[in-house]
């Protein structure tokens, strides 16, 4: 650890609830991560496109990891706690007990996960209203947002869930409630996933139009009528009960939360870039795109004035960096897609065995295997005749079309490790082409982006990072702390503690540039051609469905 500072150290705890696991970190006032712990969380898929979790299981995991990272630390030095989480929907009854979100009536499973696509018919009807709130989600509401899921609950689980429900929380807000007893919602979650406007509040006409007038009638009590900017200190901090569970002191300031992608954004986007040879050095912060890549990828771009990008979520005012508008592009499955294709390949057991024998992760093994088979050519050239369209779980941005499916062209009669490695490469490239597609849509609407700031689990994969640089032609910045999302959560805790006067100040002090990866511009021509093919794939897919739905 670093030292050399006279003043006693201040510590903040950040807790990040991802799709597959909960992580916690102990972070100091300079953004240095001193301790890290993670713990898997349960997931259920009771039927295709239904994904559920348990808020009690998630909270228990938060307690385990928090206790671990504060072990051996003087608890008086812990000055703040911040949470971020996926934007899943938590349902509790009037006494704050879990309610089932499933036909089985299993109340343990009281969370509809963000990637759940059960509410297809509901979102279709919501989009048909053409209500003006839809302008602020890229023109089309996503099936992954909360309004369609709420409508699904009302239409499908009236007695067992809807009528008994007292509180619908976005997962980040559930966590801050659990810690403090305060039911106030974060501006981040409500603006991004619930159609709340930072300027105008709730729009009664929207909820009435879609058939959820219930919320208007009780003054939005169940979904939030007190809304606070992320980082605001909640109530009197940690309750004695929560403090005991988390292994912290009662009264520690707890911040209004952020969605995980937004915490990642705070963890990377404000870094001081001087001296790294980056073009964004002389440019405003709006030239930076934070890309948070885990189970999904989220592309966070900010602007001074609202920018309406068709198919890209937002513009959301103050939902990430206060005072700035945010556009959020995304790909619903990226890490999950890579895992899916690699694990489903016949050569996967062989890969696992070989990686284990070398004490490597399967991805480190695949990357070195690709280096072996590429011979003298750049590794990316191995996919000259293998192309992937990555929307296995629909397209979030910029097409906003949940009916799209994945495509692979160039298959051969081979099942060996080479075949697996090249399919993996083509998938990583397809995800990077998806990022390029999103950036082009954002730029066409008025963004001016020059540099990518990557974080999340996939940013630990050097091939994923290099392909993003090569395919977008932009430099990629990686943070000093790999766990940038947790630094973002700790920034929230630091803001709640009052140690910093603003989120911007905390960001500038706590997020730091680590490594910079420059694009191989000499390969540009090749990737431009592959990008042409990429765009053709989706064009063709649409033609296929038109043929099949014709007479």
Ligand X SMILES: Nc1ncnc2c1ncn2[C@@H]1O[C@H](COP(=O)(O)OP(=O)(O)O)[C@@H](O)[C@H]1O
Instruction: Kindly give, in sequence order, each residue whose CB lies less than 8 Å from that of residue 149, ignoring residues fewer than 6 positions away.
Output: 89, 112, 116, 118, 119, 122
Site for ligand X in 86-145 (CB under 6 A): none
- Under a CB-based contact definition with an 8 Å cutoff, are residues 504 and 322 in contact? yes
User: Taking the complex as a whole, how short is the minimal distance between the CB of residue 221 and ligand X, in angstroms?
Assistant: 31
114 binds, among ligand 5RP, ligand X, none (CB under 5 to 8 A by kind): ligand 5RP
71 binds, among ligand X, ligand 5RP, none (CB under 5 to 8 A by kind): none
The answer to whether residue 20 forms part of the interface with ligand X (CB under 6 A) is yes
Using CB under 6 A, which of the segments 127-135, 349-357, 423-431, 451-459 binds ligand X? Answer: 451-459
- Under a CB-based contact definition with an 8 Å cutoff, are residues 146 and 90 in contact? no
| Interface with ligand 5RP (CB under 6 A), residue from 29, 54, 66, 86 | 86
The answer to whether residue 259 forms part of the interface with ligand 5RP (CB under 6 A) is yes
Element (H, E) at 112: strand 111-112
435 binds, among ligand 5RP, ligand X, none (CB under 5 to 8 A by kind): none
Question: What is the layout of strands, in order, in the sheet containing 325-331?
Answer: 313-317, 325-331, 297-303, 288-293, 451-455, 475-479, 513-517
Compare residues 11 and 325 and give the one whose CB is closer to ligand 5RP.
325
> Which residues make beta-bridge pairs with 302?
326
Phi, psi of 27 (to 5 degrees): -130, 140
Instruction: Kindly give, in sequence order, each residue whose CB lies less than 8 Å from that of residue 101, ignoring residues fewer than 6 positions away.
Output: 52, 89, 91, 109, 110, 111, 112, 153, 157, 161
- Under a CB-based contact definition with an 8 Å cutoff, are residues 138 and 152 in contact? no
Distances (CA, A) of 94 to 97, 163, 164, 238: 7, 10, 7, 22
| Interface with ligand 5RP (CB under 6 A), residue from 296, 383, 429, 435 | 296
Using CB under 6 A, which of the segments 14-22, 89-97, 110-118, 182-190 binds ligand X? Answer: 14-22
Taking alpha carbons only, the member of 318, 266, 255 closest to residue 488 is 266
Contact code string over 320-339 relative to ligand 5RP, x by CB under 6 A: --------x-x---------
Site for ligand X in 339-358 (CB under 6 A): 339
Compare residues 339 and 418 and give the one whose CB is closer to ligand X.
339
Compare residues 80 and 457 and give the one whose CB is closer to ligand X.
457
Using CB under 6 A, which of the segments 60-68, 188-196, 313-321, 336-344 binds ligand X? Answer: 336-344
Separation of alpha carbons 273 and 515, rounded Å: 11
Instruction: Kindly give, in sequence order, each residue whose CB lies less than 8 Å from that of residue 317, ignoring residues fewer than 6 positions away.
Output: 191, 197, 198, 199, 306, 325, 326
21 binds, among ligand X, ligand 5RP, none (CB under 5 to 8 A by kind): ligand X
Q: What's the per-residue H, E or C state across 500-515?
A: CCCHHHHHHHHCCEEE
The answer to whether residue 21 forms part of the interface with ligand X (CB under 6 A) is yes
Contact code string over 237-276 relative to ligand X, x by CB under 6 A: ----------------------------------------
**Contact residues for ligand 5RP, defined by CB under 6 A:** 18-19, 86-87, 114, 192, 259-261, 294-296, 298, 328, 330
């Amino acid at each position: 650890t670093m030292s050399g500072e006279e003043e006693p150290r201040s510590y903040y705890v950040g807790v990040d609830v991802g799709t597959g696991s909960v992580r916690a970190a102990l972070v100091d006032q300079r953004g240095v991560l001193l301790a890290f712990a993670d713990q898997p969380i349960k997931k259920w898929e009771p039927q295709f496109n239904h994904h559920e979790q348990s808020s009690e299981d998630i909270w228990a995991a938060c307690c385990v990891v928090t206790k671990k990272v504060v072990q051996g630390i003087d608890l008086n030095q812990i000055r703040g706690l911040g949470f971020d989480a996926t934007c899943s929907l938590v349902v509790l009854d009037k006494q704050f007990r879990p309610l089932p979100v499933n036909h089985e009536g299993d109340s343990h499973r009281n969370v509809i996960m963000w990637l759940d696509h059960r509410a297809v018919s509901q979102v279709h009807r919501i989009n048909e209203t053409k209500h003006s709130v839809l302008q602020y989600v890229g023109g089309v509401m996503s099936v992954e947002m909360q309004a369609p899921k709420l409508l699904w609950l009302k239409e499908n689980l009236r007695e067992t869930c809807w009528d008994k429900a007292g509180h619908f929380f976005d997962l980040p807000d559930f966590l801050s409630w659990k810690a403090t007893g305060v039911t106030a919602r974060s501006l981040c979650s409500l603006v991004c996933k619930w159609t709340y406007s930072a300027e105008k509040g709730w729009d009664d006409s929207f909820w009435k139009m879609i058939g959820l007038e219930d919320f208007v009638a009780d003054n939005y009590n169940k979904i939030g009528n007190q809304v606070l900017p992320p980082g605001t200190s909640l109530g009197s901090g940690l309750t004695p009960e929560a403090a005991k569970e988390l292994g912290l002191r009662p009264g520690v300031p707890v911040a209004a939360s952020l969605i995980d992608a937004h915490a990642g954004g705070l963890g990377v986007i404000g870094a001081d870039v001087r001296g790294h040879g980056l073009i964004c050095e002389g440019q405003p912060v709006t030239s930076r795109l934070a890309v948070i890549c885990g189970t999904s990828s989220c592309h966070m771009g900010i602007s001074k004035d609202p920018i309406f990008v068709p198919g890209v979520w937002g513009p959301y005012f103050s939902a990430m960096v206060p005072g700035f508008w945010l556009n959020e592009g995304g790909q619903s499955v990226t890490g999950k897609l890579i895992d899916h294709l690699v694990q489903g390949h016949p050569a996967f057991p062989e890969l696992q065995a070989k990686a284990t024998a070398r004490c490597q992760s399967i991805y480190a093994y695949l990357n070195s295997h690709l280096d072996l088979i590429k011979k003298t050519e750049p590794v990316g050239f191995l996919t000259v005749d293998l192309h992937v369209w990555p929307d296995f779980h629909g397209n979030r941005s910029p097409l906003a079309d949940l009916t799209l499916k994945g495509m692979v062209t160039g298959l051969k009669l081979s099942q060996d490790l080479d075949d697996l490695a090249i399919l993996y490469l083509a998938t990583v490239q397809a995800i990077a082409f998806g990022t390029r597609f999103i950036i082009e849509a954002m730029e066409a609407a008025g963004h001016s982006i020059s540099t990518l700031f990557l974080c999340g689990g996939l940013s630990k994969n050097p091939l994923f990072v290099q392909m993003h640089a090569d395919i977008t032609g932009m430099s990629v910045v990686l943070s000093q702390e790999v766990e940038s999302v947790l630094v973002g959560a700790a920034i929230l805790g630091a803001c709640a503690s009052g140690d910093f006067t603003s989120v911007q100040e905390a960001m500038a002090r706590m997020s730091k540039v680590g490594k910079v990866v420059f694009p191989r511009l000499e390969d540009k021509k090749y990737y431009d051609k592959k990008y042409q093919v990429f765009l053709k794939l989706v064009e063709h897919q649409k033609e296929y469905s038109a043929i099949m739905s014709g007479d």
